[in-house]
Amino acid sequence: MSIPLTDLTSQYLSLKADIDAAIQGALLSGSFILGPEVQSFEQEMAAYCQTGHGIGVASGTDALHLALLACGIGQGDEVITTPFTFIATAESIAKCGATPVFVDIEPGTYNINPALIEQHITPRTRALLPVHLYGQACDMTRIMAIARGNGLKVIEDCAQALGATWNGQRVGSFGDAGCLSFFPSKMLGAFGDGGLVVTYSDEVAQQVRILRNHGARRKYYHEVNGFNSRLDSLQAAVLRVKLPHLDRWLAQRNDIAVSYAAALGTLPGLAVPVPTPGSTHAFNYYTIRLQGTAGYRDRLADYLRSSGIASAIYYPVSLHLQDVYRGLHYAPGTYPVSEKAQDEVLSLPIYPEMTPSQVEQVTDAIATFGG
């Protein structure tokens, strides 16, 4: 039996009756853009994330872009972020006319290293954009202290970490805004694209609401240049069915992580993810590190593929080395921890419906791989 990275079909089948009914209801309502389903979902998400507001948008990428704009980020500004993330993080900064300034990561969590942030702050720095990578919360105590000490905004990229906590508090609720993605393979996946901004700030919430809908508070009265970036009712209806299951899915993902760690943690040349004390990990991805001879990680990935087991590399090229940022003139070697991680990480299958025997199939294959 082959094992996928994630299994969206079995999740749908496990909730089929409820999801089908919700879709039917949305179709019969005749309301497709925003509307009552979206409004209810926004309130439920704000409650879940322990923030006052939730604003549905078209994608996680738009959540980042609109949140940055709502925080006043624009032309000439610098925003500090990690080079070890999905392109959308830096792309959204650039789309505001601002410049992404990268700071190297910590080797253990793969998240931005708070100890290196202050040396990158300049008079143009306006915000910090930490990413809770793979589902591991960043050290928000230190990041918020740096932001307060330097008068910076904080926009959290929570696309992989919905439900994760730092000191008992949900990610997304620390900074000025938290950005969520409902891309199908994320913790809470829609049947298409979707995203949401959560915030405790009335002003940021108001601004995102205006921006997502053509810059208008009132239909046909436009205050600013806005966007068409709305969450649709159909996706909200589906997500409302899934949300009550999220905590159970988080627990199931954590159980699988415990099984993986027990079987893989003692293998030589292999490091398993260890959640930072004081945090809970969402395990959107279960990412191991392979430290062996050159190409060791890629040979393991090939071996798994030939055994019918999917795996993925998040991410093979750090953002400062991407063609799109050639103009920023970052030389290879600028962020050594990130560049080492890009050669050594491998994400294994993990999804709530994964059975113990599937986990065992993966761990057995890795244990028998000779290198």
Ligand X SMILES: *Cc1c(COP(=O)(O)O)cnc(C)c1O
Among 60, 83, 135, 163, binds ligand X (CB under 6 A): 60
Site string for ligand X, 232-271 (x = CB under 6 A): ----------------------------------------
Is 130 a binding residue for ligand X by CB under 6 A? The answer is: no
Is 159 a binding residue for ligand X by CB under 6 A? The answer is: yes
Tally of CA atoms within 13 A in the half-sphere of 335 that contains its CB: 29
Considering the complex, state which of residue 88 and residue 171 has its C-beta at the smaller distance from ligand X: 88
Residue 47 neighbours by CB under 8 Å, 6+ apart: none
Q: What is the DSSP string of 324-339?
A: GGGGG-PPTTSSHHHH
Contact region for ligand X (CB under 6 A) — 155-163, 224-232, 242-250, 293-301? 155-163
Is 82 a binding residue for ligand X by CB under 6 A? The answer is: no
Q: What token pair was written down for 279?
A: 């945090």
Is 128 a binding residue for ligand X by CB under 6 A? The answer is: no
Calculate ∠ Cα 105-109-112, nearest 5°.
30
208 CA to centre of own chain = 19
Contact region for ligand X (CB under 6 A) — 53-61, 118-126, 163-171, 347-355? 53-61
Contact region for ligand X (CB under 6 A) — 82-90, 121-129, 265-273, 323-331? 82-90
Considering the complex, state which of residue 250 and residue 359 has its C-beta at the smaller distance from ligand X: 250
Min CB(89)–ligand X separation in Å = 5
Instruction: State the Cα–Cα distance between residues 218 and 189, nearest whole angstrom.
Output: 31
Among 89, 99, 173, 347, binds ligand X (CB under 6 A): 89
Is 111 a binding residue for ligand X by CB under 6 A? The answer is: no
Burial 122-152 (b: 16+ CB within 10 A, else e): eeebbbbbbbbbbbbbbbbeebbebbeeeeb
Q: What token pair was written down for 129?
A: 């954009």
Q: Tell me the backbone φ, ψ of residue 166, rounded to 5 degrees.
A: -125, 120
Considering the complex, state which of residue 48 and residue 182 has its C-beta at the smaller distance from ligand X: 182
Is 195 a binding residue for ligand X by CB under 6 A? The answer is: yes
The strand pairing partners of 55, in sequence order, are: 197
Among 117, 191, 115, 193, CA closest to 154: 117
Contact region for ligand X (CB under 6 A) — 57-65, 196-204, 253-261, 337-345? 57-65
Considering the complex, state which of residue 157 and residue 176 has its C-beta at the smaller distance from ligand X: 157
Residue least distant from ligand X (Cβ): 60
Is 136 a binding residue for ligand X by CB under 6 A? The answer is: no
Among 86, 200, 249, 283, binds ligand X (CB under 6 A): 86
Cβ proximity of 5 and 362 under 8 Å: no
Is 61 a binding residue for ligand X by CB under 6 A? The answer is: yes
Is 342 a binding residue for ligand X by CB under 6 A? The answer is: no
Q: How many residues of this chain interact with ligand X, rule: CB under 6 A?
A: 15
Contact region for ligand X (CB under 6 A) — 5-13, 21-29, 86-94, 304-312? 86-94
Considering the complex, state which of residue 246 and residue 263 has its C-beta at the smaller distance from ligand X: 246
SS3 183: coil
Cβ proximity of 339 and 332 under 8 Å: yes
Q: What token pair was written down for 297?
A: 């990680």
Residue with tokens 């980020």: 73
Is 102 a binding residue for ligand X by CB under 6 A? The answer is: no
Min CB(135)–ligand X separation in Å = 10
The strand pairing partners of 197, in sequence order, are: 55, 179
Q: E strands of 15-142, at which residues? A: 53-57, 78-81, 99-102, 125-129
**231 C-beta neighbours (distance < 10 Å), count:** 30
Residues forming the site for ligand X (CB under 6 A): 59-61, 85-86, 88-89, 131, 157, 159-160, 181, 183, 193, 195
